[in-house]
Amino acid sequence: MRKGITLSISVAGFLLAFLPATAQNQAAQTFRPTRTKDGKPNLNGIWQALNNANWNIEAHASSAGLPALGAQAAFPPDPGIVEGGEIPYLPAALAKRKENFANRFKEDPEVKCYMAGVPRANYMGHPFQIIQGSKEIMFAYQYAGAVRVINMGAPTKAPAESWMGWSNGHWEGDTLVVDVTSLNDLTWLDRSGNYHSDKMHVVERYTPRSADTILYEATIEDPKVYSKPWKISMPLYRHIEKNAKIMEFKCAEYSEEVIYGHLRKKQ
């Protein structure tokens, strides 16, 4: 548990993580969040997922990583964030996921400091900041300095595919709903090789459920990879330290050896 998160929030979050989605939704519906000047729920703040979904979004036990790094690179266990337990892969896509897993220490886009995409950017283990306006809402991510802007006006179309996709949002009661399209196929969903194509469509829901927690849900569909739409859900926690802020983690320089080391002139 991160330093600065109070015990009461930690316990509440722990219990929330194991509540069924229906119970989490009911809890969120009974909470009345503070409001911005335009009367919308105030989501401003620095938020972070406190789970191990970045290692594998499906439920998983602990397992070995790179032998040379021992326990430092081992996969920590996690109950998973996929509702129903398993991602509904098409047979050919499942074979590709297994191939990705076998090559995860080289091929995971995170190794190369590629931007994480949606929804992975929300559970990477790095905090992100929500800066809320009436016409646009900005998400600023610590990892790789990624930024996405949610258009809250009339829906618009993306000029091209991108790492973080194109986001149009609207409010349904106290829930921020974000429709994300035009994602490229260069990101993974976790370090275990779960992946998608350029046809992935994500609908996110951000619902305040207490002063310092948000219920995050995302419905994912991709007819090239999955047999049907599926969903993830998890709590996000507000950083409440007096010095809470997004810090710099521009990791491209850390990846130069991995990407370009083979091009170095040999002595």
Return the structure tokens found at 254.
């850390």
Mean local confidence (pLDDT), 15-29: 57
Q: Phi first, then psi: give them for residue 7, nearest 5 degrees.
A: -60, -40
Strands 147-151 and 166-172: parallel
Q: Which amino acid is at 243?
A: N
Where b means 16+ CB within 10 Å and e means fewer, 47-71 reads: bbbbbbbbbbbbebeeeebeeeeee
CA dihedral 57, 161, 248, 241 (to 10 degrees): -50
pLDDT digits 0-9 by tens, 71-91: 998 999 999 999 999 999 999
- What's this model's pTM, rounded to 2 decimal places? 0.87
Which two three-digit tokens encode residue 57?
A: 């979004």
Q: Which domains does the chain have, with CATH numbers?
A: 7-60+76-258 (2.40.128.20)
Digit-coded pLDDT (tens) for 33-48: 999 999 999 999 999 9
